[in-house]
Amino acid sequence: MHTTLTCSATGQTYPIDRLQNLSEAGKPLLAGYDLESLRETFTPDVIRERSIRSMWRFHEVLPVRHPEDAVSLGEGMTPLLRCRCRGPFAGFNDLFIKDESFNPTGSFKARGMSAAVTRAANLGAEVIALPSAGNAAGAATYYAARAGMQCYLFMPEDTPPANIIESVVGGAKVFLVNGLISDCGKLVRQGCEKFGWFDLSTLKEPFRIEGKKTMGYELAFDLADEDDTEELQLPDVIFYPTGGGTGLIGMWKAFNEMEQLGWIGSKRPRMVVVQAEGCSPIVKAFHEGADHAELFPNAHTIAAGLRVPAAVGDFLMLSVLRESGGTAVSITDEELMQGVYEIAQHQGLYACPEGGAVWKAAQKLVESGWMKPDERIVLFNTGTGLKYNHLIDLGDLPRLDHTDPNCLDVIEA
């Protein structure tokens, strides 16, 4: 359970026992823990022995007093898949994919929503609202359903159909809006004022980031298992597909907490932000040396999770990139779809376009000499490709007439 809530820009503190959105400065609030007093009882060995098979095995650094208070659907504890060195992956001999498609509702959004809905429910919220053009919608819907809360969703009309359908099945109140996600966000703010809904937009409440940070905790355990050692391990480089950036900021927070807990030293992975060429505000700001990102005009990409032209946590992401010695890369839509096919056919998992993007970014940074292929690299696949089936062109599949005894002749031996 957290003990403080602090403005990420001004350091001002806020009470922890009531529903909170942004700080007075309009910036995200971050949760703090009394890590010093946890050092004795909250250790890697204790955690390994727990039977809780979800991210709530880390409940001491999550917003609950007791693990039973969590609104959980089995989120987290996703596999870390070692990539096979073949085809375009040849030479990458210490490459892993953290496969977040294993989460409830098929994406990493489940982690954030599990934490945020848990805290909102425990503080008495009955209705949540958010804008979404992708996976956040389904995650919010199903955690709200589990908690017995009502969920209002405002979604751009061009949101992928799978995201709309799953939300409707789960009982969310879905409104389609003739605008961008930012227009939807405005309607959420108006609705929250008018109807008293609780705003669950990215980084506008303090706990989605807490849920997402568990990706950082898990990774350290996953790699220790991989090396068959008790000692927690971090990789050399982490590639993260970045829209709102909650996961990136969250993992960085996790690493700092783990150091304060005495679990790891001061060494950190280089963090790499991956965006789509048609919407790359953080890439632009990073390479221009800016502290904040400007709104990216005419944002467009088929990777719905990357279609975030302005992120409220921009300054936090840029600071993580610089502190970690990382970088930021953009990928075309064509490249990222090629990445999806390559991961599917060579590694055996159907990644989302954002997952395709991080793989192509890793290739690009090896080609540019920024990174060696045999470094220990972790790619985050943030969701299942199944929700992006509408992007796949099947072409003309061969059709067989089973009444024709020679119908198999079309197949070459």
Minimum gap (Å) between residue 146 Cβ and a copy of itself: 3
Check residue 45 for interaction with a copy of itself (CB under 8 A).
no
Taking CB under 8 A as the binding criterion, the range among 159-167, 204-212, 272-280, 371-379 that sits at the site for a copy of itself is: 159-167
Site residue total, a copy of itself (CB under 8 A):
80
The CA-to-CA distance between both ends of the chain, in Å, stands at 62
Kindly give the pairing relationship between strand 327-331 and strand 270-276.
parallel
- Indicate the residue among 266 and 403 with the shorter CB distance to a copy of itself: 403
Q: Token pair for residue 118?
A: 């848990």
Q: Are 22 and 29 in contact (CB under 8 A)?
A: yes
Q: What is the DSSP string of 40-106?
A: TT--HHHHHT----SGGGGGGGTT-SSGGG---SS-----EEEPP--GGGTT-TTEEEEEGGGSGGG
Query: Of residues 191, 232, 260, 284, which one binds a copy of itself by CB under 8 A?
Result: 191
Strands ordered across the beta sheet of 4-7: 13-14, 4-7, 29-32
- Indicate the residue among 354 and 375 with the shorter CB distance to a copy of itself: 354
- Indicate the residue among 5 and 172 with the shorter CB distance to a copy of itself: 172
Check residue 231 for interaction with a copy of itself (CB under 8 A).
no
Residues found in the chain: 413
Query: Of residues 11, 289, 297, 398, which one binds a copy of itself by CB under 8 A?
Result: 398
Q: Are 172 and 193 in contact (CB under 8 A)?
A: no
Find the binding residues for a copy of itself in span 65-124 (CB under 8 A): 73-74, 77-79, 81, 84, 86, 99, 102, 104-106
Check residue 413 for interaction with a copy of itself (CB under 8 A).
yes
Check residue 46 for interaction with a copy of itself (CB under 8 A).
no
Check residue 380 for interaction with a copy of itself (CB under 8 A).
no
Q: For residues 217 and 203, give the distance between their C-alpha atoms in angstroms, rounded to a whole number.
A: 20
Find the binding residues for a copy of itself in span 125-154 (CB under 8 A): 138, 142-143, 145-148, 152, 154
Query: Of residues 18, 65, 66, 194, which one binds a copy of itself by CB under 8 A?
Result: 194
Find the binding residues for a copy of itself in span 302-321 (CB under 8 A): none
Rounded to 5°, the CA angle 95-97-102 comes to 165
Rounded to 5°, the CA angle 352-354-355 comes to 65
Query: Of residues 284, 322, 346, 364, which one binds a copy of itself by CB under 8 A?
Result: 346
Query: Of residues 46, 90, 295, 400, which one binds a copy of itself by CB under 8 A?
Result: 400
Q: What is the CA radius of gyration of the chain?
A: 21
Minimum gap (Å) between residue 108 Cβ and a copy of itself: 14
Minimum gap (Å) between residue 63 Cβ and a copy of itself: 19
Annotate each residue in 206-225 with x if it binds a copy of itself (CB under 8 A) or - if it does not, as one string: -------------------x
| CA 317 vs CA 182, 243, 252, 271, 289: distances in Å | 20, 11, 9, 10, 13
- Indicate the residue among 314 and 335 with the shorter CB distance to a copy of itself: 335
Check residue 345 for interaction with a copy of itself (CB under 8 A).
yes
Query: Of residues 165, 262, 334, 368, which one binds a copy of itself by CB under 8 A?
Result: 165
Minimum gap (Å) between residue 67 Cβ and a copy of itself: 12
Closest CA to 280 of 332, 358, 338, 352: 332
Q: What is the distance of C-alpha 89 from the center of its chain?
A: 24
Taking CB under 8 A as the binding criterion, the range among 31-39, 188-196, 205-213, 256-264 that sits at the site for a copy of itself is: 188-196
Lookup result for tokens 């904040």: 292
Q: What is the DSSP string of 214-232?
A: HHHHHHHHHHHHHHT-SS-
| CA 297 vs CA 269, 278, 286, 310: distances in Å | 31, 9, 17, 10
Closest CA to 209 of 148, 251, 166: 251
Check residue 175 for interaction with a copy of itself (CB under 8 A).
yes
Query: Of residues 19, 46, 176, 295, which one binds a copy of itself by CB under 8 A?
Result: 176
